[in-house]
Structure 1
Amino acid sequence: MSFGKLFSVPLEILEEIFLNLPPHQVVRNCRLVCHQWKEVADSESLWRERCRREGYCPHDASKMPKDWRLFLFLCRKRRNLLKNPRGEDEMKNWQILENGGDKWQAEGIHVPHPNETVQKNFVTSYGMCRKSQLINLEAEGYNPSFMDLFQPDIKISDWYAPRWDCGSEYEICVELLNQRKKPIQKFAPETVYFEQWNDQKWNQMTYVFQNYGPGVRYIRFIHGGKDTQFWAGWYGIHVTDSCVEICHI
């Protein structure tokens, strides 16, 4: 029996077999066996069905992915690249840039957060407090060629809230950096100020980097603030649930 006949099976059966294998094996091994296997392994129908079975679907039904295989792998890999975003491990994983007043502190939240799983936050004091994390994209599984070719959306978000009885300010700066850690693109909105006797509600800052060009290798996330009345203790801005995600295209 020839090699071609040995591996010749109906396409629908071959597709079902591939749907029950780990997707990385389909890409790395199965598609190399023969022309027929490669055709099925590269087919749109295979990866579209895989996405359906795993529950991955575009938020906007009018905008279908151009590459369902890429869509699947990005969805599977998607996660918060920031470590300890809520202060559950105190200040672990954060680099303190400024530690004014009575310094940064991690404590329980004062008012309920929209996400009920968030129970801790970072709190600033009466001197400027800033902290940062540097994300190495290659170490997180996003290699340089992938970033340069596809330039997937990079979504950042941050939750911040004042104390009701004290004025405060909040600031954030997120930079996309090249191999030398020089900025390629930056998000740095104006400082947000809160007056004393405010409603103390949680606010979300969000931004999506798009079409940023080749060369992005790192992401630097910086945020912080202080109280504006110089009260001893921790009456400054509260921050929590910070997030940096590589999103599907």
Structure 2
Amino acid sequence: MGEALSSKLPVRQNSPSPKSGWDSTEHAFHVPLDILEEIFLNLPAHLVVCVCRLVCHHWKDVADNESLWRQRCRREGYNLHESSKVPSDWRFFYFMCKKRRNLIKNPRGEDELQGWTIVRNGGDGWRVEKPMALHPNTEVQTNFVTSFRTCTKSQLIDLVKEGYSQAFMDEIQPHIKVSDWYAPRCNCKYNMSVKLLHSNNRVIQEFTPETIHLLEQENHRWKQMIHVFKDYGPGVRYVYFEHGGRDSVFWAGWYGIRLTETSIELCPALDKQNYESNSG
């Protein structure tokens, strides 16, 4: 019976030997370059880097090819500010655009004064409170407020520690967008200063507008200060930001300028939003 059963089983013909070409992983995953690149362009970028490029040498070559990342930038709208400033590493450029973020820590005061260095703490000093007027961004539920003598605070941003290499900063010189929101409680003053610093702390560019005087009659309305640093040349390694103010009536307590939603962003690609320096 065993012989009869075995005679009915299908016989596998021309089975490849263990030494045939099919034992090559790279051969099994070989896909034409243009097709593979199109597949990678439709996958999340982190999967291309962390998974796909580890499959075989062929896939790694495609995942590392600058044409892939240049095309990815084009499709996702990450266009250069200037055609003369072409990145030598398109993949790095892509991820710097993708991961654009606010470099200011604790911009709204949700963690009290953590992340900030108090430069001057006049009068009754700095305080965090709830906004007196609705902010354009409804997620803003706290703000800093100054007292009857000058209060200022600062942050120093180390761009290399934030992931922006020296070569990238010197080669691309991404626009550096600064934004700060301020509003009066009574008659008060507002000051802001931003400096781009070399590694030796030499000032490369600076934005320090004149003191802004605000009146209580402005109904606590929020205003925005915006400035964009451009064409600042090589060497920028730090961004120093400082702001503050005081009330103009010298009342005890916290009746000075209110500040929140401070931000500093590096913008390697052309921003779709039109931004210019303004004070309101």
Alignment deviations for residues 74-93 of structure 1 (CA, whole Å, 9 cap, x no partner): 22220000000000000001
SS at match of 2:111: coil
SS at match of 1:125: coil
Whether 1:94 and 2:112 are equivalent positions in the alignment is no
Counterpart CA distance in 1 for 2:204 and 2:244 is 22
SS at match of 2:194: strand
2:210 corresponds to: 190
For residues 50 and 184 of structure 1, do their structure 2 counterparts lie closer, same or farther at Cα, with a shift above 3 Å needed? closer
Whether 1:124 and 2:146 are equivalent positions in the alignment is yes
Which of residues 228, 244, 252 is equivalent to 1:208? 228
Q: TM-score, normalised by structure 1?
A: 0.83
- Structure 1, unaligned runs of 5 or more: none
2:10 corresponds to: none
Alignment deviations for residues 158-214 of structure 1 (CA, whole Å, 9 cap, x no partner): 000001xx2000010000011112211001011110124322210000011011001
Please list, as runs of the form range in 1=range in 2, the aligned pairs for 1:112-151 lying within 5 A after superposition: 112-151=134-173
For residues 24 and 221 of structure 1, do their structure 2 counterparts lie closer, same or farther at Cα, with a shift above 3 Å needed? farther
Is this contact kept in 1: 2:180–2:263, CA < 8 A?
yes
Using the aligned pairs only, state the percent identity. Answer: 48
In structure 1, give the amino acid aligned to 2:213: Y
Alignment deviations for residues 112-133 of structure 1 (CA, whole Å, 9 cap, x no partner): 0000000100000000000000
Q: TM-score, normalised by structure 2?
A: 0.75
Equivalent pairs counted in the alignment come to: 238
Is this contact kept in 2: 1:51–1:72, CA < 8 A?
no
CA-based RMSD of the aligned residues comes to 3.2
1:241 corresponds to: 261
- Structure 2, unaligned runs of 5 or more: 1-20, 270-280
Counterpart CA distance in 2 for 1:36 and 1:241 is 42
1:105 corresponds to: 127
Q: Higher Cα Rg: structure 1 or 2?
A: 2
SS at match of 1:122: strand
